[in-house]
């Protein structure tokens, strides 16, 4: 990829020059998760219906379109770590394994969706976050707390949903961004829209070299390359009484990664993921709506230095109805059938397994002038473990004109993944399913002079939690508890904004009374800046406290990083932008590796780009 960037190219200087040309002095930024337009965002994850975020009886965070458009290079793990309640553990820089710990829960306790499709791998139970492209994503919704009534057995900690874009006007564009570490990304797309009929196509390519993985120095390369390319298309029709959409996306690439080799050498793997999603809506009457979804998600990884592979496939059929039987009351009734397939060859030991599961759910919603409630129950029939019933009841009450309080109580269960049962390394076929109960209360307050603040506290108890000690055989820990809370304060005045969010969690193994691995107790995000339709500049900080890891002799140190971003819409057809991730080039440790070495972040990444649109 030497043609991408000559040795004399210095992105940091280029970024600075563009910033000066734009009339900005150097300041600091990262993803802004605050709604700078002061509108109440519309979300769909909490109830499978469009509703105002302020009316959801739970804590929900929205990563908005303006954030996603700031840098095409920005990865999904990078975007998600701007939520203070999320600890993103990445085994190196761009393209490396990334695990998400939401409110301290396990990495396979957070369900990742794209327009309702499960992106969690059928074999590992986690989503391949580093390999998920966000080119055609409109916004990301982070719903915190149990959500098993609507989504089944994976949502103990919460749900992260990627909501894709749907064309609303005719448009064509091309975007290019180039940066340090021989990194570049190009995106091309076109939208067509007329009288409710729409079509959309996107294509993208990303390449990056020289990303650090560990702080181990060996004779072999200690940096890793990553490249991916893909395309997506969507077409459909949206009318008052009906809607149909077909969505297809394909992404593939390769990466070098650490595989615990004795000489520290990096191994190569190829990856490929594919999404097919067919959805329909029919308004039978003004008060009765029928919805269907047929989807398939394939997630495959093939090793290039061995014959090992992981081929995962999830197929789902969902049918649900919304019946507004009274002006303020809605009944949601649905069923989902899911087939998980895993074909794996790991360390020479193969297994090929599949699991069928069917869930039946019922949810009641009341939306009054001051009171919003949500109560539901789900029966999940799993062919491996039998039937499990989960339930949830939640309410938000507008106590005063500018004060609302909410409470949320829910149960969930998580069956062992195919890897946990059958993998050759530490699998255990005698594992039992995990079961959880969660309680949460919170308050949101609008203050004078453009300020808004909120506070929440929660307690989650998980029985038969699956884990290991020093990478040994997986076992069911008797019980683990997660006690924590979140606090935020935001401010906006015209084009200026600021927001601070603090998160605390005590994730404890009740048997040993020790903190669970890789869960820092404290997280902090700070964001401030100026944004309008012509130009913007903003700054943010992400900080985490220390955490323990699998080797009790080593801890993951706390860290803080700062990013910057700026953009200038020169005219309706040309946009210039710059980004600097980790402006201080902080070499922080993300997780313990082995023998005194750590995985480290990718370091600073300065970039500049342009979007041409018509």
User: Residue 21: is its pLDDT beyond 50?
Assistant: no
CA-atom Rg of the chain in angstroms: 23
Cβ distance 59 to 46 under 8 Å? Answer: no
pLDDT band at 31 (very low <50, low <70, confident <90, very high): very low
Is residue 282 within 8 A of residue 240, CB to CB? The reply is no
pLDDT digits (tens, 9 = 90+) for 67-95: 898 899 999 999 999 999 999 998 888 89
- Tell me the per-residue pLDDT of 347-358, one tens digit each, with 9 for 90 and over: 788 889 888 999
pLDDT at 264: 63
Predicted confidence at residue 467, as pLDDT, reads 75
Q: What confidence score (pLDDT) does residue 261 get? A: 59
- Check if the beta carbon of residue 401 is closer than 8 Å to that of residue 73: no
DSSP secondary structure code for residue 462 in this structure: E
For 527-534, what is the mean pLDDT?
A: 95
The model's pLDDT over 463-495, given as tens digits with 9 standing for 90+, comes to: 988 877 666 788 887 789 999 999 999 999 999
DSSP notation for 295-347: EEEEEEEEESSSS-EEEEEEEEEEEEEEEEEETTEEEEEEEEEEEEEEEEEET
Q: Which residues contact 6 (CB under 8 A, 6 or more apart)?
A: none
> For position 4, what pLDDT does the model report?
35
Segment 380-389 long-range contacts (CB within 8 Å, at least 24 positions apart):
380/148, 380/152, 380/153, 380/413, 381/357, 382/153, 382/355, 382/356, 382/357, 382/415, 383/355, 383/356, 383/357, 384/355, 384/415, 385/415, 385/433, 388/153, 388/413, 388/433, 388/435
Residue 7: is its pLDDT beyond 60? no
Mean pLDDT value across residues 87-112: 93
- Is residue 218 very low, low, confident or very high in pLDDT (cuts 50, 70, 90)? low
The yes-or-no verdict on residue 17 having pLDDT over 50 is no
In the numeric block, which tokens belong to residue 580? 């600097």
Question: Can you give the pTM of this predicted structure?
Answer: 0.91
**For residue 94, what are its two tokens?**
């761009």
Give the angle subtended at the CA of 248 by the CAs of 247 and 252, to the nearest 5°. 150
Q: pLDDT digit string (tens) for 375-405?
A: 999 999 988 878 899 999 999 999 999 999 9
pLDDT surpasses 50 at 25 = no
Class of CATH domain 2-613: mainly beta
Instruction: Give Dmax (Cα) for the chain.
Output: 71
pLDDT of residue 420: 85
Give the C-alpha separation, 494 to 186, whole Å: 33
Closest CA relative to residue 446, chosen from 31, 37, 40, 33:
40
The stretch 424-453 carries a mean pLDDT of: 92
Q: What secondary structure letter does DSSP report for 433?
A: P
Confidence of residue 14 (pLDDT cuts 50, 70, 90): very low
């Amino acid at each position: 990829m030497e043609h991408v960037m000559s040795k004399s190219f210095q992105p940091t200087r280029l970024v600075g020059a563009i910033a000066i040309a734009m009339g900005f002095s150097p300041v600091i930024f990262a993803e802004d998760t605050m709604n700078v337009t002061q509108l109440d965002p519309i979300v769909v994850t909490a109830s499978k219906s469009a509703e105002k975020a302020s009316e959801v009886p739970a804590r929900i965070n929205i990563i908005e379109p303006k954030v996603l458009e700031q840098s095409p290079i920005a990865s999904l793990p990078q975007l998600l770590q701007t939520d203070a309640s999320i600890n993103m553990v990445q085994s190196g820089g761009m393209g490396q394994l990334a695990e998400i710990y939401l409110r301290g829960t396990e990495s396979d306790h957070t369900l990742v969706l794209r327009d309702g499709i499960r992106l969690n791998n059928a074999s590992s139970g986690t989503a391949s976050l580093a390999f998920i492209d966000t080119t055609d994503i409109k916004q990301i919704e982070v719903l915190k707390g149990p959500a098993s009534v609507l989504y089944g057995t994976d949502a103990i900690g919460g749900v992260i949903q990627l909501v894709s874009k749907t064309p609303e006007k005719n448009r064509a564009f091309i975007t290019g961004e180039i940066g340090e570490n021989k990194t570049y990304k190009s995106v091309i797309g076109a939208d067509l829209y007329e009288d409710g009929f729409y079509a959309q196509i996107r294509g993208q390519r990303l390449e990056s070299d020289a990303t650090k993985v560990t702080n181990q120095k060996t004779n072999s390369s200690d940096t890793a390359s990553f490249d991916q390319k893909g395309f997506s298309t969507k077409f459909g029709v949206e009318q008052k009484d009906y809607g149909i959409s077909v969505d297809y996306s394909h992404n593939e690439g390769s990466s070098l990664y650490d595989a615990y080799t004795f000489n520290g050498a990096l191994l190569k793997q190829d990856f490929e993921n594919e999404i097919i999603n067919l959805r329909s809506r029919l308004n039978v009457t003004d008060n009765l709506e029928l919805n269907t979804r047929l989807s398939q998600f394939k997630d495959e990884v093939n090793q290039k230095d061995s014959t090992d592979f992981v081929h995962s496939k999830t197929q789902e059929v969902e049918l649900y109805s919304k019946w507004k039987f009274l002006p303020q009351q809605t009944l949601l009734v649905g069923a989902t059938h899911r087939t998980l397939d895993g074909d794996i060859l790991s360390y020479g030991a193969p297994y090929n397994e599949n699991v069928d599961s069917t869930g039946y759910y019922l949810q009641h919603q009341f939306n009054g002038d001051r009171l919003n409630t949500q109560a539901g129950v789900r029966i999940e029939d799993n062919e491996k473990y039998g039937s499990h019933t989960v339930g949830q009841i939640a309410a938000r009450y507008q106590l005063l004109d500018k004060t609302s309080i909410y409470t949320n109580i829910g149960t969930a269960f998580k069956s062992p993944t195919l890897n946990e049962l059958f993998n050759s390394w530490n699998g255990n076929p005698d594992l039992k399913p995990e079961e959880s109960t969660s309680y949460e209360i919170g308050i949101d307050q609008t203050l004078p002079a453009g300020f808004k603040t909120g506070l929440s506290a929660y307690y989650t108890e998980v029985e038969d939690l699956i884990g290991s000690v020093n990478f040994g055989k997986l076992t069911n820990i008797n019980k683990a508890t997660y006690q924590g809370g979140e606090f935020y304060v935001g401010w906006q005045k015209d084009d200026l904004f600021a927001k601070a969010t603090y998160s605390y969690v005590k994730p404890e193994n009740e048997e040993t009374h020790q903190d669970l691995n890789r869960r820092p107790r404290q997280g902090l995000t700070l964001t401030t800046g100026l944004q309008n339709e012509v130009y913007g500049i903003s700054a943010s900080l992400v900080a985490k406290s220390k955490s323990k890891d699998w080797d009790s002799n080593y801890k993951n140190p706390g860290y803080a990083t700062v990013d910057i971003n700026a953009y200038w819409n020169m005219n309706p057809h040309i946009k210039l932008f710059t980004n600097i991730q980790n402006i201080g080039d902080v070499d922080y440790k993300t997780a313990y590796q082995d023998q005194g070495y750590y995985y480290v972040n990718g370091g600073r990444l300065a970039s500049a780009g342009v979007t041409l649109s018509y």
